[in-house]
Structures are given as structure tokens and as C-alpha cells.
Amino acid sequence: MEPIDISTPAIVFPALSVLMLAYTNRFIAISKRVRSLHEEYLSESSQVIYRQISVMHKRLTYIRNMQILAIFGFLINVISIFLSLLNIEMIATYMFASSLIFISASLSVAMLEIYHSVNALSLQLDEDENQWKISNKKV
């Protein structure tokens, strides 16, 4: 394996910051939705709301895991930059490769989270469709 120079891991650095920001925004949005679902569930105990809360719980777990993997990737990337500064290029190269593995794992978990977000939306749409059918039968 060819050693890397300091610019290679440094190029990934800004992308990791944007990735962490995107993950944090997803977490904040889902947290707000969970709180509103909780309020809805307290006022109207519905099976649909319960299922949505269950899906949100899974999504929050995925987002936590996405963030943890991305943070490990970020830290290992910083270590590879530091090792490059110390002219320990070979270990820096392996550390950089490790950071890419963690980032890839984080993105893979992000795909799972997106899959579950579509499921949560499907639950809501199914409920809306059922309400529409019920209201049109009354007419």
C-alpha cells in the first residue's frame, strides 16, 4: 500500500463536518416529531400513533449509531492527519483506510434509517387514506 500525504485525509475533513451536521439535523427533526407523537398519543391512544412511535424509536437508534460511527471515522481521520504530520505515513495510511470504513458503515446505517423513515410516512399516509375512505362513505 502506498503511503498517503496529509492532503488526502484533510480533503475528507469538511465532508465529515457536513455529514455530522446532516445527522444532527435528522436527530433534531425526529426528536420534535417523537415529542408531538407522544402528546398525540396521550390525548388519543391510537394504534397508528403507537406504531409511528415504535418506528421513530428504531430511527433514533439508527441515527445514534450513524453518529457514533461517523464520530469514530472523524476521530480516526484526525489521528491519520496527526500521524502524517509526524511522518509516520504507513500507519497514517492504515488509519485513514480505517476511517473510511467507519464512514462507510455510518452511511450504510443511514440507508437503513431512510428505509424506516419511509415506513413511518407510509403509516401516516395509510391512516390518512383510511380516514378519507371513512369520511367519503358517510356522504
Model pTM score: 0.79
> For 31-79, how does the pLDDT look when each residue is reduced to its tens digit (9 = 90+)?
898 888 888 888 887 777 788 888 888 889 999 999 999 999 999 999 9
CA atoms within 13 A on the CB side of 74: 16
Quick one: angle between helices 7-43 and 47-85, nearest 10? 160
Question: Would 1 be classed as within a structural domain?
Answer: no
Question: Would 31 be classed as within a structural domain?
Answer: yes
Quick one: angle between helices 47-85 and 89-138, nearest 10? 160
pLDDT band, residue 139 (cuts 50/70/90): low
In eight-state DSSP terms, residue 86 is T
**pLDDT value at residue 138:** 62
Question: Would 4 be classed as within a structural domain?
Answer: no
User: CA angle 131-28-46, nearest 5°?
Assistant: 25
What range defines the domain where residue 27 resides?
A: 10-138
Question: Would 5 be classed as within a structural domain?
Answer: no
How many domains is the chain built from? 1
Question: Would 54 be classed as within a structural domain?
Answer: yes
> For 77-109, how does the pLDDT look when each residue is reduced to its tens digit (9 = 90+)?
999 999 999 999 999 999 999 999 999 999 999
Question: Would 24 be classed as within a structural domain?
Answer: yes
Question: Would 86 be classed as within a structural domain?
Answer: yes
Question: Would 2 be classed as within a structural domain?
Answer: no
pLDDT band, residue 134 (cuts 50/70/90): confident
Q: What is the secondary structure of 18-42 as a DSSP string?
A: HHHHHHHHHHHHHHHHHHHHHHHHH
